[in-house]
């Protein structure tokens, strides 16, 4: 048996070597396409995994070895709860913590500051312990001492012994950098000080953020948690430390999954390039394979030969893609950080780690799509009858199965049905499947569409030689034409869909900013998510009395935790007219405001609250805010592109009545007639607390917001470009292969009097008409896919809706470039196909 097998494998290697030696560039393009798709997917996975793992480790270091954490659903915990919990049966250690995001003058981001009891923290979270100098052992208890992680010191450009200014309200808190933190994570910007000192310095006397609990041995944690939650009531939450990691995972999951799906788009386009490469290779070698069949080669060996060729392309592309993906991930993490513009993992510095399981998955994906791409050509080569295959002109008949419209129509119908199904675990799984089915179904319809269109044009006739020959060729060989059309369609339709989705989102965000930024000047006490900046009643009165100010509206923002596994919800208090809330809020729908029951407090919710918590307009809800038993009525739903986890707005007067809090964070100022923004800003800067404020105009805020948007979608633009480049590779390879395979046809045409110039014109016309049909169909198919992305995938992923906008200018530019490249590719390939003798033309590659 071994003696029989050896010649067979020798033949396999001989056929493989001969095919790659004859057309090396086509094989290299197929390998490059697979490599790019695998590289993008693997790089995105490594970046997200490194960032999430490092962020989770940082969260664990903050929680330490605690079994449970007690937090307030809103605001802070009364510190009188601490001795009660410390003496609670089943608790061995209770550690009080005050968490603040401190304003750093001159910095756009906040500094995470933890006030801890070092004696308790040593038993629960030893990683947080400050590292004081040997000669100053009591610095950890000093009221002016702060300890910084190495990353925080580098960020703030300070060292031990330096002074650090932070802000509390509009006042400056001057602290001494007394040392570092024992075991801070690399890249973790963190500060630690004594909890009592932090309460005093930052005006949080009597307040704590959380209390970490370490339970006695043998205590059932879940049962203890449930009993403690019932005992504490609805105002306090009893959570586990890993739930914070789950919240971060839930927040970033949709973003990460969408990036991975976009990377698979490039891999899908590469799979189609493998299909076109192998299909054209099989058609060109149809008579050779038939002769081998006559000489005794079995169908099974022919099938394995074609699959081997495609599989090796996949192996080479996938291995190269893994190496390239690892390099890309390392560069991205070094220069751009781990959030890829998403902003989900701030304050960390992850490093790339090779993931063997993920590498194996992407390796198998690369090989799998290559095998999938060559499966149909391999099956056709194995089933072809030798007698028919030996005859010239049977190439298009071999692709006749592609012309059957029913499978494609079924896929399109199934895609339309799946697009209407709800998300799975918060992810638009059926939406993604619908996009894939529409794309495959659209490509599958190309042979029938090409036959109908070019057949109709051919029957109209033409007096000119070049158009007549071009239309006759396209009408009588629509299946071969469809291979080129599929390459154009797959890349262009995806580009159209992504461009429409991104532009719709960007324009919607821009219009939304125009609605919410209605004031002339905006004043903020803090930025970058900081919580220590605030404007008290005295500062509010001073701002309102500033010359040139016609009207001023104040805003207060804080967070509410409605569910342990969900991210906190933003609670925003501002002046709102219940009779006409649309003047202040970008409401969805302009219906009549609901009638408020006696004693009910109106609130307006963002779209995310509907999906995440099931809230609806006109419904009474319970919120962990204000006195127990307060009734809240959802008076409307508004659009919010800033907070994916949900937001609730209420009247400022209701907020102050329920909470007793008179501080605010922001102020919007409308100018008096004749007053200029520059003069009013100068007067505000001249106030005693003016230098502590962040002042901006709507145009500046809008410009910054759109820059953040573009940075967040930079990876999307890159993936679009990769898909387009791969698609152009496919167009070039397909036109070149088809042109070279028609050398005998060109020889015959030259024999009957058709000139080389006319043949080149015919090829350019064929390339242009095929590209034009692919572009027109791509506009239609891409438009349908964009509807799914805009109205299905994005709302299910991020819980907000947008209006449809089409970037006609950029789409037309790409279409023109694609049309020109298709014509030039066909022309360049034709120049070699008609040069020299027919035998030489057959052997040459482009």
The answer to the question of residue 320 being in a domain is yes
For 80, the token pair is 């009188």
- pLDDT tens profile 778-796: 899 999 999 999 999 989 8
The residue ranking higher by pLDDT, 17 or 157, is: 157
What does the longest C-alpha to C-alpha distance in the chain come to?
A: 104
Q: What is the DSSP letter of 32?
A: H
Q: How confident is the model at residue 695 (pLDDT cuts 50, 70, 90)?
A: very high
- Alpha helix segments (H runs only) across 686-755: 698-712, 714-741, 743-751
For 596, the token pair is 């408020």
386 and 531 inside one domain: no
The answer to the question of residue 303 being in a domain is yes
The pLDDT of residue 675 = 93
- pLDDT tens profile 41-62: 888 888 877 777 776 676 667 7
The pLDDT of residue 83 = 93
The answer to the question of residue 740 being in a domain is no
Q: How confident is the model at residue 386 (pLDDT cuts 50, 70, 90)?
A: low
The pLDDT of residue 840 = 46
663 and 576 inside one domain: yes
The residue ranking higher by pLDDT, 75 or 747, is: 75
User: Shortest CA distance to 112 belongs to which of 211, 209, 28?
Assistant: 209
- The DSSP secondary structure of 58-87, one letter per residue, reads HHHHHHTT-SEEEEESBS-EETTHHHHHHT
For 841, the token pair is 């033309």
Q: What is the mean pLDDT of residues 381-385?
A: 69
- pLDDT tens profile 232-256: 887 888 888 766 666 666 666 777 7
3 and 95 inside one domain: no
Q: Which residues are bridge partners to 96 per DSSP?
A: 211
60 and 71 inside one domain: no
The answer to the question of residue 262 being in a domain is yes
Residue 648 dihedral angles phi and psi, to the nearest 5°:
-130, 130
Q: Report the Cα 100 to chain-centroid distance in Å.
A: 29
Q: Which of 398, 413, 443 is the last residue of a domain?
A: 398
The pLDDT of residue 34 = 82
The residue ranking higher by pLDDT, 87 or 466, is: 87
For 557, the token pair is 């923002």
Residues 268 and 317: their CA atoms lie apart, in Å, by: 13
The pLDDT > 70 percentage for the chain reads: 79
Q: What is the DSSP letter of 217?
A: T
83 and 185 inside one domain: yes
- pLDDT tens profile 106-148: 887 889 999 999 999 988 888 888 887 777 778 889 999 999 9
Q: Which of 240, 261, 283 is the last residue of a domain?
A: 240
The pLDDT of residue 93 = 93
166 and 122 inside one domain: yes
Q: Which single residue is written with the structure tokens 């004081």? A: 132
The residue ranking higher by pLDDT, 461 or 175, is: 175
What number of other Cβ atoms are within 10 A of residue 383's Cβ? 12
What's the structural domain count of the chain? Answer: 3
Least confident of 194-198, 455-459, 589-593, 763-767: 589-593
Q: Does position 755 have pLDDT exceeding 90, yes or no? A: no
Q: What is the mean pLDDT of residues 477-483?
A: 64
- pLDDT tens profile 605-635: 999 999 889 999 889 998 988 888 899 999 9
- Give me the sign of the Cα torsion angle 18, 23, 27, 30: negative
The answer to the question of residue 167 being in a domain is yes
262 and 215 inside one domain: no
The residue ranking higher by pLDDT, 13 or 237, is: 237
Q: Does position 313 have pLDDT exceeding 80, yes or no? A: yes
The residue ranking higher by pLDDT, 282 or 311, is: 311
Q: How confident is the model at residue 477 (pLDDT cuts 50, 70, 90)?
A: low
114 and 222 inside one domain: yes
106 and 170 inside one domain: yes
Over its C-alpha atoms, the chain yields an Rg (Å, rounded) of 33
7 and 111 inside one domain: no
- The DSSP secondary structure of 285-331, one letter per residue, reads THHHHHHHHHTT--HHHHHHHHHHHHHHHHHHHHHHHHHHHHHHHHH
Residues 175 and 425: their CA atoms lie apart, in Å, by: 47
Q: How confident is the model at residue 512 (pLDDT cuts 50, 70, 90)?
A: very high
Residues 483 and 730: their CA atoms lie apart, in Å, by: 9
Q: Does position 763 have pLDDT exceeding 90, yes or no? A: no
Least confident of 70-79, 329-338, 593-602, 775-784: 329-338
- 53: CB partners within 8 A, 6+ apart: 350, 353
Q: How confident is the model at residue 839 (pLDDT cuts 50, 70, 90)?
A: very low
Burial class (CB in 10 A: 0-12, 13-18, 19+), 1: exposed
For 148, the token pair is 């910084």
Residue 257 dihedral angles phi and psi, to the nearest 5°:
-65, -40
User: Shortest CA distance to 766 belongs to which of 488, 489, 474, 477?
Assistant: 474
Residues 159 and 139: their CA atoms lie apart, in Å, by: 15
Q: Does position 431 have pLDDT exceeding 80, yes or no? A: yes
Asked if residue 727 lies in contact with residue 586, where contact means CB atoms within 8 angstroms, the answer is no
Q: Strands, DSSP E only, in 229-286?
A: 236-239
Q: Does position 206 have pLDDT exceeding 80, yes or no? A: yes
Residue 369: its H or E element: helix 356-383
Q: Which single residue is written with the structure tokens 């560069």? A: 331
Residues 409 and 587: their CA atoms lie apart, in Å, by: 40
For 243, the token pair is 């739930």
The residue ranking higher by pLDDT, 346 or 365, is: 365
Residues 775 and 488: their CA atoms lie apart, in Å, by: 7
Asked if residue 640 lies in contact with residue 800, where contact means CB atoms within 8 angstroms, the answer is yes
The answer to the question of residue 585 being in a domain is yes
The residue ranking higher by pLDDT, 375 or 509, is: 509
53 and 74 inside one domain: no
- Using DSSP, state whether 693 is helix, strand or coil: coil
- 633: CB partners within 8 A, 6+ apart: 594, 596, 597, 600, 601, 602, 603, 618, 619, 620, 621
Least confident of 150-159, 566-575, 816-825: 816-825
The answer to the question of residue 454 being in a domain is no
Least confident of 136-140, 203-207, 360-364: 136-140
Q: Which single residue is written with the structure tokens 């090796």? A: 312
Q: Strands, DSSP E only, in 182-294?
A: 190-194, 207-208, 210-215, 236-239
The answer to the question of residue 81 being in a domain is yes
**Average predicted confidence (pLDDT) for the chain:** 82
User: Shortest CA distance to 641 belongs to which of 738, 507, 783?
Assistant: 507
Q: Which of 240, 263, 291 is the last residue of a domain?
A: 240
What number of other Cβ atoms are within 10 A of residue 695's Cβ? 18
Q: Which single residue is written with the structure tokens 């590292």? A: 131
Q: What is the mean pLDDT of residues 140-165?
A: 92
- Using DSSP, state whether 391 is helix, strand or coil: coil
For 831, the token pair is 């120049």
Asked if residue 274 lies in contact with residue 310, where contact means CB atoms within 8 angstroms, the answer is yes
User: Mean pLDDT: which of 128-132, 259-263, 316-320, 461-465 is highest?
Assistant: 316-320
Task: Classify residue 171 as left (phi > 0), alpha (psi -120 to 50) or beta.
Answer: beta
Q: Report the Cα 504 to chain-centroid distance in Å.
A: 15
- pLDDT tens profile 669-694: 999 999 999 999 999 999 999 998 99
The pLDDT of residue 843 = 43
354 and 263 inside one domain: yes
Q: What is the mean pLDDT of residues 255-280?
A: 71
pTM over 0.75: yes
The pLDDT of residue 192 = 95
Q: How confident is the model at residue 768 (pLDDT cuts 50, 70, 90)?
A: confident
Q: How confident is the model at residue 661 (pLDDT cuts 50, 70, 90)?
A: very high
The pLDDT of residue 345 = 56
- pLDDT tens profile 63-102: 677 889 999 888 899 999 999 999 999 999 999 999 999 9
Q: How confident is the model at residue 2 (pLDDT cuts 50, 70, 90)?
A: very low
Q: In the β-sheet with 631-638, what is the strand arrangement from edge to edge? A: 620-621, 631-638, 600-606, 647-651, 569-574, 549-560, 666-671, 521-524, 694-696
Range of the structural domain that residue 389 is part of: 1-64+252-398
The residue ranking higher by pLDDT, 521 or 234, is: 521
Least confident of 112-121, 225-234, 287-296, 580-589: 287-296
């Amino acid at each position: 048996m071994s003696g029989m097998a050896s010649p067979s494998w020798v033949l396999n290697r001989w056929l493989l070597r001969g095919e790659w030696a004859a057309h090396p560039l086509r094989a290299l393009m197929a390998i490059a396409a697979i490599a790019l798709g695998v590289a993008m997917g693997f790089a995105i996975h490594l970046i997200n995994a490194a960032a999430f793992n490092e962020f989770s480790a940082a969260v664990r270091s903050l929680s330490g070895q605690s079994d449970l954490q007690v937090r307030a659903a809103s605001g802070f915990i009364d510190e009188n709860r601490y001795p009660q919990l410390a003496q609670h049966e089943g608790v061995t250690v209770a550690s009080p913590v005050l968490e603040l995001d401190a304003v750093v003058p001159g910095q756009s981001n906040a500094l995470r500051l933890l006030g801890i009891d070092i004696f308790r923290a040593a038993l629960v979270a030893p990683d947080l312990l400050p590292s004081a100098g040997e000669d100053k052992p009591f610095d950890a208890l000093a009221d002016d001492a702060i300890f910084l992680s190495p990353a925080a010191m580098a960020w703030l450009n300070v060292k031990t012994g330096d002074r650090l200014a932070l802000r509390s309200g509009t006042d400056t808190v001057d602290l001494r950098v007394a040392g570092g933190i024992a075991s801070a994570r690399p890249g973790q910007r963190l500060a630690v000080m004594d909890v009592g000192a932090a309460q005093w310095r930052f005006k949080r006397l009597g307040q704590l953020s959380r209390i970490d609990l370490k339970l006695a041995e043998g205590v059932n944690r879940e049962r203890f948690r449930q009993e403690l939650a019932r005992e504490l009531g609805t105002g306090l939450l009893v959570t586990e430390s890993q739930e914070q990691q789950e919240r971060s995972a839930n927040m970033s999951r949709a973003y990460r999954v969408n990036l991975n799906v976009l990377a698979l788009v490039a891999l899908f386009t590469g799979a189609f390039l493998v299909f076109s490469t192998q299909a054209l290779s099989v058609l060109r070698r149809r008579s050779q394979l038939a002769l081998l069949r006559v000489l005794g080669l079995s169908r099974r060996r022919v099938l394995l030969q074609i699959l081997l060729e495609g599989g090796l392309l996949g192996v080479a592309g996938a291995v190269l893609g893994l190496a390239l993906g690892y390099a890309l991930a390392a560069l991205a993490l070094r220069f751009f950080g781990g959030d890829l513009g998403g902003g989900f993992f701030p304050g960390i510095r992850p490093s790339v780690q090779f993931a063997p399981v993920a590498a194996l998955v992407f390796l198998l994906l690369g090989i799998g799509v290559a095998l999938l791409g060559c499966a149909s050509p391999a099956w056709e080569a194995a089933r072809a009858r030798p007698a028919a295959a030996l005859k010239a002109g049977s190439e298009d008949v071999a692709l006749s199965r592609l012309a059957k419209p029913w499978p494609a129509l079924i896929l399109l119908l199934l895609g339309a049905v799946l697009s209407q199904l709800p998300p799975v675990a918060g992810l638009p799984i059926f939406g993604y499947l619908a996009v894939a089915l529409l794309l495959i179904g659209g490509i599958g319809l190309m042979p029938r569409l090409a036959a109908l269109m070019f057949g109709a044009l051919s029957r109209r006739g033409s007096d000119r030689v070049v158009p007549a020959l071009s239309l006759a060729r396209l009408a009588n060989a629509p299946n071969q034409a469809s291979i080129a059309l599929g390459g154009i369609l797959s890349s262009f339709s995806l580009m159209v869909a992504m461009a429409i989705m991104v532009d719709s989102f960007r324009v919607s965000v821009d219009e939304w900013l125009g609605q919410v930024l209605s004031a002339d000047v905006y004043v903020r006490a803090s930025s970058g998510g900081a919580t220590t900046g605030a404007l008290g009643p005295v500062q509010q009165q001073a701002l309102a009395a500033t010359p040139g100010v016609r009207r001023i509206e104040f805003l207060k923002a804080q967070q509410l935790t409605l569910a342990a596994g969900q991210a906190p919800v933003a609670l925003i208090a501002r002046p709102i007219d219940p009779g006409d809330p649309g003047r202040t809020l970008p409401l969805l729908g302009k219906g009549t405001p609901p009638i408020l029951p006696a004693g009910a407090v109106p609130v307006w919710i963002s779209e995310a609250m509907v999906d995440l918590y099931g809230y609806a307009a006109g419904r009474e809800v319970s919120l962990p805010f204000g006195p127990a038993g307060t009734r809240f009525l959802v008076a409307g739903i508004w659009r919010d592109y800033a907070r994916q986890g949900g937001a609730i707005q209420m009247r400022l007067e209701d907020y102050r009545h329920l909470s007793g809090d008179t501080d605010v964070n922001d102020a919007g100022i409308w100018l008096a007639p004749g007053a200029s923004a520059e003069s009013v800003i100068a007067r505000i800067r001249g106030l005693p607390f003016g230098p502590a404020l962040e002042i901006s105009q709507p145009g500046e805020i809008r410009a910054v917001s759109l820059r953040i948007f573009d940075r967040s979608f930079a990876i999307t633009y890159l993936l679009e470009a990769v898909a387009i480049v791969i698609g152009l590779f496919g167009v070039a390879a397909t036109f070149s292969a088809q042109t070279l395979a028609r050398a005998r046809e060109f020889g015959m045409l030259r024999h009957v009097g058709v000139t080389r110039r006319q043949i080149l014109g015919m090829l350019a016309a064929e390339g242009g008409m095929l590209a034009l049909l692919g572009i027109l169909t791509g506009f239609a198919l891409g438009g349908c896919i964009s509807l799914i992305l805009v109205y299905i995938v994005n709302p299910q992923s991020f819980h907000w809706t947008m209006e449809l906008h089409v970037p006609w200018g950029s789409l037309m530019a790409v279409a023109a470039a694609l049309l020109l490249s298709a014509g030039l590719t066909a022309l360049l390939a034709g120049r070699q196909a008609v040069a020299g003798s027919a035998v030489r033309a057959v052997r040459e590659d482009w």
